[in-house]
Amino acid sequence: MAALCLARAGARVVIVDKRSFPRDKACGDLIGPRGVRLLDELGVDVPGARRLGDMIVVAPNGRRALLPALPGVDYPGHALAIPRHEFDAALFDAAVEAGAAHVHDRVTGMVDDGGVRLAAGTDVFADVVIGADGAQSAVAEAAGLVDDRRALWGFALRRYVRAPVELPHILLWEPERWRLFPGYGWIFPTPDGGANVGLGLAVGAGDRREARRAAAQFGDFLRHLRGEGLLPTVPDADALLGGWLKMGAVGTVAARGNVLLVGDAAGLVNPLQGEGIAQAMASGRAAAAAIAGGPAKAAQRYIADLHAMTGHQRRNAPVQRGIVRHPAAVSVTARMLTAPVVRSALAGGWSLYWNDLVDGARPSAHRRVAVAATRLISAATRRSDVQ
């Protein structure tokens, strides 16, 4: 997205990537409403995507809450489902068509005069470097922009299965009663009539070896899906694809000097539900706009824009830490939110707040609930050392 916007603005751009396209990536494959709006604004077509609306949350006791897809003033009332190997390739092709060059190589470090050093032994010089290389960003590490003691980490595993699913489902799962898995599982529809099944957990700023729980308990989660009637059978073991997440826009300096970080590299994943595609695209466009205004002060402009975009992530970073530390309390909360009377009153506001759609929401009772939640969480986390 950054390369596409810069190339369209007339800049000389090169995309350096160690992988060739199309290439796969562990992901739930859902592009949220803000991402859909951004694609429309930039005229980027994503052939074969499936439009999805409402989402169902399944509590540990099996109760279900339907979170409605509510159109906003400036975003649609739907998401798109498309495999990442198709979606990323479409963005890559659009950037190259706009004039961006491509170098297939791996970045090994930074160049003092500006640019990056490649594994092949050559250097690419540039006025500005955009690190769009994921949660474990080599660019961020080389530029000294990450504080591992504060960064909030997550890990997710994903596989595709043959199972017809009409609506996306989020499952708040208890491997042991009253001990919620520190994250959630999902089963999302795919455009080909199958399903994307995944299990993600929040690790926080602690021991990242805890991520092994996702693989160790994936089979148990599949059996849980079957018990909930969402899988016809437990499929045989096949390839799992995993990936790290960096959440909450904390523990990482998003820009300094001539280095800007976007997407997962900047820790822009929603800490409540793991969405990162829309934030990644928005940060890519913001980085491009900051650079187009002049490389000398691009970092300052980008930091200011990003701060305005990431209030939800920073506000809920302490909530993510609480989820990791207090699984029993989260289990109780999940049961309460899906109780019949409560879910009827709160589902719309829950949908807006959880999916970071409060800004731009249309005036309604749902928006008033989401605004109240925003104020409550802001007051509760204002003095947290995670922010």
Q: What is the pLDDT of residue 384?
A: 66
- Which amino acid is it at 112? D
CB 46 within 8 A of CB 82: yes
With respect to residue 387, please indicate whether it lies within any of the assigned structural domains: no
Q: What is the largest CA-CA distance in the chain?
A: 64
Sites in the chain below the pLDDT cut of 50:
387
Q: In degrees, to the nearest 5, what angle opens at C-alpha 76 toward C-alphas 358 and 274? A: 55
In a domain? residue 191: yes
Total domain count for the chain? 1
14 belongs to a structural domain = yes
**Separation of first and last alpha carbons in the chain:** 27
The CATH number of whichever domain residue 59 belongs to comes to 3.50.50.60
Instruction: Give the span between the Cα atoms of 207 and 213, in whole angstroms.
Output: 12
Position 379 in a domain: no
pLDDT recorded at residue 110 = 92
Q: SS3 of 190, please?
A: coil
The C-alpha atoms of residue 266 and residue 161 are separated, in whole angstroms, by 31
The pLDDT tens digits of the residues spanning 322-377 come to 888 888 898 999 999 999 999 999 999 999 999 999 999 999 999 999 999 999 99
- Domain-located, residue 346: no
Q: Please tell me the distance from the alpha carbon of residue 259 to that of residue 304, in angstroms, as a whole number.
A: 15
Residue 322 lies in a domain: yes
pLDDT of residue 148: 82
Which residues span the domain enclosing 29?
1-339
Distance separating alpha carbons of residues 385 and 2, to the nearest angstrom: 31
| pLDDT at residue 382 in the model | 83
Residue 352 lies in a domain: no
Residue 92 lies in a domain: yes
DSSP letter at 170 equals E
